[in-house]
């Protein structure tokens, strides 16, 4: 195997920042994205960065506690990585601020939407603001005065505060901005077609002298702290993991600081005083703009209801078979079927479970839930199945980050109704999206299955681009039943020849398939691999892909998020071409293609080429063999690989150059819109 070093193996966290830059590019794309959609991309960028600091940067901080000698032996350089992260984020934050100030705000104004700062308030505004402040805002404020030398203050994770400076430098004030309890934006009034809005931040800023009547205020600055979001549960768990996770959620809000975001206009000495007061290291100080928590812009109101400021709505494409049947069981016995979200409705999955819940011949329903939706047709159907006396087995991943509390809450609901519910395992997550329905037919059990790339969640299915596979194939359904028996604790290792199941067969099968392509190439035959995934980090797989490239295998990759592989390096990876698509929907599907001497092998499922997905998670990938389904999935993959509008080239320097910019003569293909047209033509 090739010995990977810094020149041919990218650090995942550094390359993740290149992914978030692509989100920022979408906020800058005036030509293709309407105003409110660009505003949402700023919100996505901000949300992504918050989670990055709470999870990834916090892990780097934990590594700093490891003895220097051990870090050196393991080639761990957390200090260097954190400094590089900070430098890159600072540069991106400057771009972020420019987009908001120089483009978003003026365009809002041009469309009759005025977002007023406190400096622009007039007597007319004061009359509205005063009443709102007294009635709605003031009761939610938490005001604290701290002695700089003797005092102590704790700021909640992700919460917004004003850091208030007084003429008396021996003390400072803190005031919360209760955006978690009240809408961040207030619509003031409409006049002659112009709509006036303001941040609640500005209202509080405007009222600060009333809040501190005895003080002379010399500065008011917004700040936000991000804390370590890991739960750090012990590996050795007992039978009450869900309870322990539930209790551990409280630690998230008390975790170690990983970033202090502050207004960059603050004087250096005042920033230093703040840092010491909050016991934050220099490396964790992150200058920003006047406002923080841009994820609130997901709910920024559009008082104009102007359709031109938003994406044109795409109607749901009816599936050529499933949309016209009330009997899924007959349809699936005839052949396999694929569904594609968000182009098609998630209702097809919900209807399948609803039919199973009321069918008198259905005896069992088994499902794995990674992120449980709130009250929905799917959860209602599972509860109805229990009411109708069906055996329902539900595996709930209690360790799905940031969804732990909701998952456990729903698990308890299902348990109360009589379902068999299992929560997680030590050292392993269940990330597969699988469903099995068992039905009595002519005295025998017949199994029907669904395997997806995305969660069983109708809400996310509207914004995540995913694929789902329905089948009554006896071999596949028998093997999926074995996977559920592993989850139930009835089997240790599932025997399977067709499904790829991590951590049992996925790595081994992919290695064999890649080595087969290497042999074809070495024999002078056509050898080709196409892979579409979210993330690529596993060193062994990267080494093998490099080896395949060196053997002459043509490798085409589409990686949405971060990648530790460096494509296009002569003598190493010149036969690997990689792009990344970021557009209206979040690309979330995983597809693997191997030419295999003309006997094309195609897999679809939940696993990325990450060590955790191959070795530490239960993942399921299904071979797509039915001709109609295989052609449909490969046609979609081809459109994505040919994207010239939203595809960025992934190169050694993470330049994020648009494919169309490199070759302006290429036909403009925006794959998500081309896929919509393709599916519409095929299914209707």
Tens of pLDDT along 60-118?
A: 776 555 555 544 544 556 778 888 998 999 999 999 999 999 999 999 999 999 999 99
Low-confidence winner among 34-38, 259-263, 304-308, 363-367 (lowest mean pLDDT): 259-263
- Assess whether 194 and 286 both reside in one domain: yes
- Assess whether 203 and 290 both reside in one domain: yes
Is residue 5 in a domain? Answer: no
Structure confidence at residue 607 as a pLDDT band (50, 70, 90): very high
In the predicted model, what is the mean pLDDT of residues 519-538? 98
Low-confidence winner among 439-443, 520-524, 629-633, 665-669 (lowest mean pLDDT): 665-669
Structure confidence at residue 286 as a pLDDT band (50, 70, 90): confident
In the predicted model, what is the mean pLDDT of residues 7-34? 94
In sequence order, the β-bridge partners of residue 223 are 161, 262
Q: Among 92, 111, 130, identify where a domain stops.
A: 111
Is residue 136 in a domain? Answer: yes
Is residue 584 in a domain? Answer: yes
Please tell me the total number of residues recorded for the chain in this structure: 684
pLDDT > 70 fraction of the chain, expressed in percent and rounded = 91
- Assess whether 456 and 563 both reside in one domain: no
CA 639 to CA 363: how far, in whole Å?
41
Tens of pLDDT along 330-367?
A: 999 999 999 999 999 999 999 999 999 999 999 999 99
- Assess whether 125 and 217 both reside in one domain: yes
Instruction: Decide if pLDDT at 376 tops 90.
Output: no
Structure confidence at residue 239 as a pLDDT band (50, 70, 90): very low
The confidence score (pLDDT) of residue 587 equals 97
CATH number at residue 60: 1.20.58.310
The confidence score (pLDDT) of residue 397 equals 80
Q: Quick one: which of 600, 584, 561 has its CA closest to 671?
A: 584
Domain count, the chain: 4
**Which residues are identified as catalytic?**
431
- Assess whether 591 and 534 both reside in one domain: yes
The confidence score (pLDDT) of residue 361 equals 97
Indicate the pTM of the whole model: 0.91
92 vs 238, more confident: 92
- Maximum CA pair distance of the chain? 86
Q: 3-state secondary structure string, 472-507? A: CCHHHHHHHHHHHHHHHCCCCCCCCCCCEEECCCHH
- Assess whether 274 and 365 both reside in one domain: no
Instruction: Decide if pLDDT at 567 tops 50.
Output: yes
In the predicted model, what is the mean pLDDT of residues 36-56? 92
In the predicted model, what is the mean pLDDT of residues 293-312? 94
- Assess whether 161 and 102 both reside in one domain: no
Structure confidence at residue 425 as a pLDDT band (50, 70, 90): low
CATH number at residue 286: 3.30.1840.10
In the predicted model, what is the mean pLDDT of residues 659-668? 83
Instruction: Decide if pLDDT at 126 tops 70.
Output: yes
Q: What are 276's two structure tokens?
A: 């010491």
Tens of pLDDT along 631-655?
A: 999 999 999 999 999 999 999 989 9
Q: What is the DSSP string of 225-243?
A: EEE-------SS--TTHHH
In the predicted model, what is the mean pLDDT of residues 151-175? 91
Structure confidence at residue 552 as a pLDDT band (50, 70, 90): very high
Is residue 166 in a domain? Answer: yes
Instruction: Decide if pLDDT at 252 tops 60.
Output: no
- Assess whether 671 and 607 both reside in one domain: yes
33 vs 369, more confident: 33
In the predicted model, what is the mean pLDDT of residues 599-610? 97
Q: Among 494, 522, 542, identify where a domain stops.
A: 494
Which residues span the domain enclosing 199? 113-300
The region that residue 402 occupies, defined by phi over 0 for left and psi between -120 and 50 for alpha, beta otherwise, is left
The confidence score (pLDDT) of residue 72 equals 52
Is residue 1 in a domain? Answer: no
> What b-and-e string marks burial along 422-446, b requiring 16 or more CB atoms within 10 Å of the CB?
bbbbeebbbbbbbbbbbbeeeeeeb
Instruction: Decide if pLDDT at 234 tops 50.
Output: no
The CB density around residue 91, as the number of other CB atoms within 10 Å, is: 12
The confidence score (pLDDT) of residue 94 equals 93
The CB density around residue 114, as the number of other CB atoms within 10 Å, is: 16
The confidence score (pLDDT) of residue 387 equals 96
Tens of pLDDT along 389-419?
A: 999 999 888 665 555 677 778 888 899 999 9
Is residue 344 in a domain? Answer: yes
Mean pLDDT comparison of 154-163, 245-254, 671-680, highest-scoring range: 671-680
- Assess whether 514 and 428 both reside in one domain: no
In the predicted model, what is the mean pLDDT of residues 493-519? 96
Is residue 311 in a domain? Answer: no
Kind and range of the H or E run holding 14: helix 12-28
Is residue 327 in a domain? Answer: yes
- Binding residues, by number, are 48, 371, 401, 464, 560, 588
- Assess whether 140 and 73 both reside in one domain: no
Q: Among 451, 470, 494, identify where a domain stops.
A: 494
CATH number at residue 663: 3.30.870.10
- Assess whether 181 and 227 both reside in one domain: yes
Q: What are 673's two structure tokens?
A: 């819109």
Mean confidence (pLDDT) of the chain = 90
Is 435 in contact with 469 (CB distance < 8 Å)? no
The confidence score (pLDDT) of residue 82 equals 84
Tens of pLDDT along 446-471?
A: 999 999 999 999 999 999 999 999 99
Q: Quick one: which of 221, 229, 205 has its CA closest to 274?
A: 221
Q: Quick one: which of 520, 647, 527, 540 has its CA closest to 593?
A: 527
3-state percent helix, strand, coil for the chain, nearest multiple of 5:
40, 25, 35
Instruction: Decide if pLDDT at 137 tops 90.
Output: yes
The confidence score (pLDDT) of residue 429 equals 81
Q: What are 592's two structure tokens?
A: 């693997």
- Assess whether 630 and 591 both reside in one domain: yes
């Amino acid at each position: 195997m090739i010995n990977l070093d810094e020149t041919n193996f990218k650090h995942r966290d550094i390359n993740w920042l290149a992914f978030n830059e692509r989100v920022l590019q979408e906020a800058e794309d005036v030509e293709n994205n309407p105003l409110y959609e660009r505003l949402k991309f700023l919100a996505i960028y901000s949300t992504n960065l918050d989670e990055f600091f709470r999870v990834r940067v916090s892990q780097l901080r934990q590594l700093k506690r490891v003895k220097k000698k051990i870090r050196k032996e393991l080639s761990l350089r957390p200090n260097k990585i954190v400094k590089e992260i900070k430098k890159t984020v600072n540069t991106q934050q400057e771009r972020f601020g420019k987009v908001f100030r120089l483009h978003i705000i003026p365009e809002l104004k041009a469309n009759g939407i005025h977002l007023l700062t406190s400096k622009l308030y007039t007597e007319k505004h004061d009359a509205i603001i005063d009443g709102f402040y007294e009635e709605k805002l003031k009761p939610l404020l938490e005001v604290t005065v701290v002695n700089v030398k003797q005092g102590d203050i704790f700021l909640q994770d992700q919460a917004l505060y004003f850091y208030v400076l007084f003429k008396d430098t021996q003390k400072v004030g803190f005031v919360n901005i209760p955006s978690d309890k009240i809408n961040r934006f207030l619509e003031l009034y409409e006049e002659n077609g112009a709509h006036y809005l303001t941040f609640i931040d500005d209202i509080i800023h405007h009222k600060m002298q009333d809040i501190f009547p005895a003080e002379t205020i010399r500065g008011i600055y917004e700040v936000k702290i991000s804390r370590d979001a890991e739960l750090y549960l012990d590996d050795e768990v007992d039978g009450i993991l869900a309870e322990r996770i539930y209790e551990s959620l409280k630690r998230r809000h008390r975790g170690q600081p990983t970033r202090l975001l502050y207004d960059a206009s603050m004087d250096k000495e005042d920033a230093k005083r703040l840092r010491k007061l909050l016991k934050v290291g220099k490396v964790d100080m992150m200058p920003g703009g006047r406002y923080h928590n841009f994820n609130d812009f997901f709910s920024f109101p559009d008082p104009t209801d102007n359709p031109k400021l938003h994406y044109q709505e795409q109607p749901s494409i009816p599936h050529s078979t499933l949309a016209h049947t009330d009997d899924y069981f007959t349809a699936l016995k005839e052949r396999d079927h694929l569904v594609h979200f968000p182009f098609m409705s998630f209702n097809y999955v919900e209807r399948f479970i609803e039919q199973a819940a009321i069918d008198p011949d259905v005896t069992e329903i088994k499902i794995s839930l990674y992120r449980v939706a709130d009250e929905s047709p799917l959860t209602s159907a599972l509860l109805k199945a229990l009411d109708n006396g069906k055996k329902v087995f539900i595996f709930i991943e209690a360790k799905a980050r940031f969804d732990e509390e909701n998952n456990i809450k729903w698990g308890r609901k299902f348990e109360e109704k009589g379902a068999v519910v299992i929560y997680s395992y030590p050292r392993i997550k269940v990330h597969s999206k699988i469903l099995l329905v068992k039905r009595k037919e002519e005295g025998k059990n017949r199994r029907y299955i669904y395997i997806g790339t995305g969660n069983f969640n109708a809400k996310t299915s509207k914004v995540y681009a995913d694929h789902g596979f329905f089948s009554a194939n006896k071999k596949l359904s028998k093997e999926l039943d074995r996977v559920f028996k592993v989850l139930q604790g009835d089997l240790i290792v599932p025997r399977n020849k067709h499904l790829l199941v991590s951590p049992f067969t996925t790595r081994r099968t992919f290695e064999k398939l890649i080595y087969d392509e290497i042999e074809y190439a070495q024999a002078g035959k056509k050898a080709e691999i196409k892979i579409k995934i979210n993330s690529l980090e596993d060193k062994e797989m990267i080494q093998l892909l490099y080896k395949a490239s060196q053997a002459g295998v043509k490798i085409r990759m589409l990686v949405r998020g971060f990648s530790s592989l460096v494509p296009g390096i002569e003598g190493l990876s010149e036969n690997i071409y990689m792009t990344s698509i970021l557009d209206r929907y979040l690309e979330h599907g995983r597809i693997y293609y191997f030419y295999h001497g003309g006997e094309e092998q195609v897999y679809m499922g939940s696993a990325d080429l990450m060590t955790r997905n191959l070795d530490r998670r239960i993942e399921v990938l299904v071979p797509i063999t039915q001709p109609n389904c295989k052609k449909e999935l490969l046609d979609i993959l081809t459109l994505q690989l040919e994207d010239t509008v939203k595809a960025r080239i992934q190169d050694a320097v993470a330049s994020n150059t648009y494919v169309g910019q490199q070759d302006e003569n290429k036909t403009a293909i925006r794959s998500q819109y081309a896929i919509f047209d393709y599916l519409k033509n095929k299914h209707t």
